[in-house]
Amino acid sequence: MNPAIVLLLCATSLSLPAAYGPNGAIPEQARPSVSIRLDINAPQPLAEAIRLHMAQAFGPYAGVRLVEQNPQWTIKFVTQALLDDEGNTTAIGLSVVVLKHGPQMNMLSTLAQAWRYIINAGLLQRDQPLEVGMRQLVAAIEGLPKTDDLAVLSQHLMCVIPADRLSDACRDIVADFNARVFAAKPNTFGSAGDR
């Protein structure tokens, strides 16, 4: 097999996550820290309530940090209050989008590094279409925006909930996020109800 192809396969496999245990779940002590930004488009009182409920729901999960800058994930909320004839809020329409920042840029950077090595090591014939194409791809990757500016849509949820069930909805969103990200379970010592 061509050594350039072997190197490229090895380089791309290095960026893939390793499976842990029989179900691929990451053990508690090995679970990485996850940073999340909440981006909430709602009137101030509702935005504060969502932020509070989300922080409480994330509280029992190890390694989760809510941040304002440089997140690994963003959870975006767009809300619409549904009013009765007297103007009272009876329900809340929620659109929730989960974005993951940067993983595709890490893969592209790894590929660019592998291609640069192949080119510089002289494993390709100079000025041939494959070598020229690889140089162009490396230049294009290096011209992309920084990792923080790139994101992948991970999930989109739309629902209408009763106004008094906002905390339950936030708890469900957090539980689903943790199950999808790293099959996380809350710490058994100290649940949100104990605080």
SS3 162: strand
| 15 in a structural domain | no
Of 187 and 153, more confident: 153
Encode 66-122 in three state secondary structure. ECCCCCCEEEEEEEEEEECCCCCEEEEEEEEEEEEECHHHHHHHHHHHHHHHHHHCC
| 113 in a structural domain | no
| 156 in a structural domain | yes
Residue 24 phi/psi, 5-degree rounding, is 80, 5
- Residues 129, 92: Cα–Cα separation, whole Å: 57
| 73 in a structural domain | yes
Query: Residue 61's domain is classified under what CATH number?
Result: 3.40.50.11830
List, in sequence order, the alpha helices (H) in 3-85.
3-14, 44-58
| 131 in a structural domain | no
- Residues 109, 12: Cα–Cα separation, whole Å: 10
| 161 in a structural domain | yes
How many domains in the chain? 1
For 175, the domain range is 3-9+33-102+150-186
| 107 in a structural domain | no
For the segment 150-166, the average pLDDT, to the nearest whole number, is 83
- pTM score, whole prediction: 0.58
| 19 in a structural domain | no
Per-residue pLDDT tens over the stretch 115-126: 778 878 887 778
- What is the predicted pLDDT for the residue at 38? 95
pLDDT mean across residues, the chain: 75
